[in-house]
Chain A
Amino acid sequence: MRLDKIIKKLELEVLANKNIENNVDGVYIGDLLSLVMANANENNLWITIQTHLNVIAVATLVGLSAVLIAEGMEVEDETIKKANEVGIPVLRSKLSAYELACRLYELGV
């Protein structure tokens, strides 16, 4: 499913908007970046509460379609800056990872 469609349906806040027409193929949830590096798959939408700059590096490394920050966590400016530089979409929602996962499942992601 296309990311822009997900953004619309889940009313996600867009913090970094490069490549939001990316295709999303599956979801990965996790806050330990070492595990995300090991276990997430290419084109996954990644739901996390981590906001450190390394999030963007990991997303690039794995080839994730986007990073979705749950629970309305505050995101560092440099993380957004880096995301725009390398073209990783960063989205945010007030919902928890669980609620987001349920909504994504209903959408058929």
Chain B
Amino acid sequence: MRLTYDLHIHSALSPCGDEDMTPNNIVNMAYIKGLDIISVTDHNTVQNVEVIMKVAKKRDILVIPGIEVTTKEEVHILCYFRNTEDSKEFQDFIYRGLPNIKNNEKLFGRQLLMDENDNIIGKVDKFLLNSTKYTIKEINDLVNRLNGALVPAHVDKKSYSILANLGFIPNELNIKTVEVSSNYFSLSTKILNSLNGYNILKNSDAHYLGDINEPVMFLDLEKKDINSLIEYLNKSWRNKG
């Protein structure tokens, strides 16, 4: 079945995420836009995911537990999991790997935890935008152990991108899917050549409600469930040239 998606959205828990990015606002905006599947991928934390999954049930929107991790190489990596338990186990590991630096709210914005009625129920202390101490390989190993999926984020960007920071995608990571930030047709030939053989997602990386994807990107899944999506992200689509 063809399903519309946006698998890279930030909630108000990300310091850079707008405070209007509340569970209900995100879900309702996705609903208005006509999206079937979303993922809220905050920086190095999953603590708003569960409540967003709860809110999305009423709207029949599938939410996949996700997180945007910063590796030691300063590469942004999207990681997706089959259930909230796995995502929490992963997050605990990630959070331990963040340096003990407190968030400066004035400079970076608040890191807000919310409930299903959009009430602020707490804040995360550590500054979430820092790099973890883990290499991309260590992160990949844990995602694989938890049967999740790993997708390098906005590979076409000049910063925090696997192509910019590492020059090319290391083969041994066995990555099948990558995310681009711009329209497929505006990607440079050089980027396109690097992505030959990879399955490509285009997400919004929304920090503001209006930026969430329009229903123009499609995934073809067996079923509208998390397992089908993980399988899709981990599948070889074309022979790499």
Q: Point out residues on A near B: beta carbons under 8 Å.
A: 31-37, 50, 52-54, 57-58, 76
Question: Is A50 a contact partner of B163 (Cβ separation < 8 A)?
Answer: no
Indicate if the CB atoms of B135 and A52 lie closer than 8 Å: yes
How many of B's residues come within 8 Å of A, CB to CB? 12
Q: Tell me how far the C-beta of B98 lies from the nearest C-beta in chain A, rounded to whole angstroms.
A: 17
Q: Is B167 an interface residue (CB 8 A)?
A: yes
A33 touches B135 (CB 8 A): no
Residue B73 lies at the interface, judged by CB distance under 8 Å to chain A: yes
Q: Mark B147-187, 1 if CB is under 8 A from A, else 0.
A: 00000000000000001111110101000000000000000
B136 part of interface (Cβ distance < 8 Å): yes
Q: Given A50-B73, A52-B73, A58 and B135 touching (CB < 8 A)?
A: no
Interface residues of B (CB under 8 A from A): 73, 135-137, 163-168, 170, 172
Contact indicator B164/A53 (Cβ below 8 Å): no
Partner of B164, one of A34, A52, A58: A34
Apart from A33-B166, A52-B136, A54-B170, list 20 A-B contacts with CB within 8 A.
Answer: A31-B165, A32-B165, A33-B164, A33-B165, A33-B167, A34-B163, A34-B164, A34-B166, A34-B167, A35-B164, A36-B167, A50-B73, A52-B73, A52-B135, A53-B170, A53-B172, A54-B166, A57-B167, A58-B167, A76-B137
Q: How far is the CA of A53 from the CA of B172 in the complex (A)?
A: 10
User: Whole-angstrom distance from the CB of A32 to the nearest CB of chain B?
Assistant: 5
A interface, over-half SS: helix
Q: Which 9 A-B pairs have the closest CB atoms?
A: A33-B167, A54-B166, A34-B164, A34-B167, A37-B167, A33-B166, A52-B73, A58-B167, A32-B164
- Expressed in whole angstroms, the minimum distance between the Cβ of B167 and any Cβ of chain A is 3
> Smallest CB–CB gap between B5 and chain A, Å?
28
Which residue of chain B lies nearest to A58 when distances are taken between CB atoms in the complex?
B167
Which B-chain residue is minimally distant from A33 (CB atoms)?
Answer: B167
Q: What's the nearest-Cβ distance from chain A to residue B16, in Å? A: 21
Closest-by-CB residue of A relative to B138 is A76
Report the minimal beta-carbon distance from A40 to chain B, rounded to whole angstroms: 11
CA distance A76 to B137 in the complex (A): 10
Shortest distance between the CB of A48 and any CB in chain B (Å):
11
How far in angstroms is the closest Cβ of chain B from A61?
8
Instruction: Give chain A residues whose Cβ lies under 8 Å from the Cβ of B170.
Output: 52-54
